[in-house]
Amino acid sequence: VIMEEVDEDLKKCQPVEDFVGVADFCATEDNQLSFTTGDRLRVHDRTSPEWWWAELYGLFGYVPSSYVRPCIDEEDVDDAWQDEEYFGSYGSLKLHLEMLSDKPRTETYREVVLSNRHCLEGRVVMDLGCGTGIISLFCARLAEPAAVYAVEASPMADQTRELVTRNGCQSVVSVFKGRVEELALPGKVDVLVSEWMGNCLLFEFMVESVLLARDRWLKEGGMMWPSSAALSLVPCQAEEEYRRKIVFWEKPYGLDFSCLKSLAQKEFFSKPKFSHEMKPEDCLSAPCDVLTLDMHSLQIPDLEKLKGEFCFRVEKSGTFHGFAAWFSVQFQSLDEVGPTLELNTGPHHPLTHWKQTLLMLDSPVFLHQGDSLSGMILLHRNPVWRRHMTLSLHWTIRSTQDSEACKTGQKSFPMWR
């Protein structure tokens, strides 16, 4: 850490902002500043997008911008995680009915347990965010684990205890009510299983709780289920969506309402459309994975900003209305020779309750077969409201009709409820 004092005149002329560490950082260079989670740092200069000049306890150095977030004034923000709303929504049966009724989702987890039943014998399993305890009950009924720790922070945990008893699994399954940050378990676990995925894979960021549990409670060499995850993207047609939301205003009931089209575009297409049921034939090219996550090596600071690239070759001519996104997760076998199972929420697979997420362009573009569409996707976590994020897309279209012509575009989609 640079020990010399910063010039007082420089300190006076630069705006100083307070930030808090969201993860531990250990300096690897002499001009960097070490800090721990929760430390309050004073940022004197945002030198680059990645590195900022900061002060801690009178010492100065560079800190990675992704490891800090603005200090939240408790008078302005009561709950940056919105825990009361988030966990409260899982205290009623509405969401649990939706999830349990999702057969591809639920049966995939059941198949994971069933295909690993012999390897689970005598092992300890944690089911994080267990909800009604369905995965815990699968483990207890289909395998012979030494113990299953069913962890649930919402009021549903009280009902889960009764469900465990009613299904005769109380000798194996123990229900722990509370947040993972406050969790006290009898010991470490061999397997950590969770259904943490949200729209565009990360929305609501339950994954952070999974990583916290992994780092604290998973034994060395233990297994994560899912063990990996991917976010997929494809350029697509969405003619019905565009017609209902935009074309409608051209001449409803024989009257000219076209002046409202720009307002409709801002209102309906500025945010992603969740739960979009996309037809496979609406894909203009083969999809590609733009982000991949290894759940054994992923770190919490990695969640602040995730970047991916794409390059599509248009397979059929059609109107490019936007992008569709979905995710897949993989479950590595506990046995080295066992199969890796997958849950895929894309349009070419059985429909899940997530369906797909539609990201509409401001104006559609006609694409010809053979055109190329390349670009970048960025998922940027909200620095204050920690369950929210912004998804940004940048793209370039190169035409087969005119080799010198190309069109560029970009759009950002804030994701919140």
Distant-in-sequence, close-in-space partners of 380: CB < 8 Å, separation ≥ 6: 304, 305, 389, 390, 391, 392
Among residues 17, 162, 181, 204, the one annotated as catalytic is: 204
Measured from the Cβ of residue 244, the count of other Cβ atoms closer than 10 Å reads 11
- Which residue type is seen at 25? F
Task: Look at residues 18, 42, 212 and name the one whose alpha carbon lies nearest to residue 129.
Answer: 212
Q: Is 107 a catalytic residue?
A: no
Among residues 152, 195, 208, 304, the one annotated as catalytic is: 195
Contact 358, 290 (CB under 8 A): no
Please give the biggest Cα pair distance in the chain. Answer: 75
Measured from the Cβ of residue 103, the count of other Cβ atoms closer than 10 Å reads 13
Q: Is 204 a catalytic residue?
A: yes
Strand order across the 68-70 sheet = 59-64, 51-56, 40-45, 17-21, 68-70
Return d(Cα 196, Cα 139) in angstroms, integer: 18
Return d(Cα 248, Cα 259) in angstroms, integer: 12
Active-site positions read 195, 204
